[in-house]
Amino acid sequence: MNPLLDGLKVLDLSRLLPGPFCSLSLAQLGADVIKIEEPDGGDYARELSPELFDIVNRGKQSLTLDLRQAEDVARFKQLVETADVVLESFRPGVMDKLGCGYDTLKAINPRLVYASLTGYGQTGPYADRPGHDLNYLGYAGVLDQTGLAGKRPAMSNVQIADLAGGAQNCTIGILAAVMGARQSGEGCWVDVAMLDGALALQSMALATHHQHGSSQPRGKDMLTGALANYNVYRCRDGKYLAVGSLEPKFFMAFLKEITPAFLWKKKKKKTGDASSSTADKPKPAGSGNDALTRLAADPKKLRRLMVPVRWAIQLILLTRTRDQWDARLAHKDTCVSGILTLEEALANEQVQARGLVTDSQKGPVLRSPIRFVGAQTRDGESPSLGEHNPLFTDQDKRRA
């Protein structure tokens, strides 16, 4: 079976990371993505980070057009006649100045889906401001939630606002609009702001706000470091473990694996004890009378003792290396895993088994993370600047 988006024609005017990442997702699902670039240098990423350009522009065609020139604007509009999607990431108003705004292109092709992926969207007092991932995360309150307690906000090398907040939401919006256009015959304008998308990811912090009237300081919420059973720990070799034993059953399994067996022995009942008649009755999981079982199964008590429990776990985990703990805990239903470097992640047996990593002419790259049964995804190399100009020149000649 062909890729699911086979035949979908996308004209991509975006640059750098968020827009190209969005159109990469579409290309991997089978869309025909034509990357429109300026003749003099093309996408800025070609010079700023050629490696990044190659990673996020695989499987696309490159056509050079100077949209400040009337002749090239006319050629672009000819492409719009048969396109399904136009993707752009300019500041609001730029496309109108180029003579390629939404209303103009909609008049040419009423079925067109016109997608704008910008930092702050098409409306609001910030719409004309420049920005990058760090700015959007700051305005969305995400940076305030990221990092260790009492320390400055931490910066991630995963561009959360650009990619999860922007590119992926734009991909979803485009696909929804394409389906709508095929049903109704009318396209629409997809307006995605990376600030909006980043704020929409704040589910846990918002839940805390609902519960307590305000969000918790970074490092103090349930999933940011407040819990001993959902935390990061250093091992003997200086590498780290991710302990995600959030539920009592996982935490009990974890504690049983890392602590001496005698701590889990139940107290013996004295002869004649009035409660001894119930000693042989089956008990629900987590109801044992050993101290660690009671601790793991009592969230309130665990919270009160969180600091000493966290320190105790840290001291124990310092006795072995990351890989020793990982091997010991891997099949014990503990939700504990090693924290890998990128290189280790690429070589990880689970990642390899899923076939996510593939080789390109310039190094390892990642296939689409979406798997289908009964459909294919598509891979390819990144194009050189204007590589496909002859193809579109031939089309112009045939049209003439």
Task: Return phi, psi of residue 227, to 5°.
Answer: -100, 140
C-alpha angle 380-382-386 in degrees, rounded to nearest 5: 125
Contacts of 175 (CB under 8 A, 6+ apart): none
Question: Amino acid identity of 153?
Answer: P
**C-alpha–C-alpha distance, residues 293 and 108, integer Å:** 69
Question: Do 18 and 131 form a contact (C-beta atoms < 8 A)?
Answer: no
The SS3 of residue 343 is: helix
Catalytic residue of the set 162, 191, 196, 326:
162
* CA 359 remoteness from chain centre: 22
The total number of residues written for the chain in this structure:
400
For residue 32, indicate whether it is catalytic.
no
The candidate with the shortest Cα–Cα distance to 115, out of 200, 8, 273, 211, is: 8
Count the neighbouring beta carbons within 10 Å of the beta carbon of residue 12: 30
**C-alpha–C-alpha distance, residues 341 and 338, integer Å:** 10
Known catalytic residues are 162
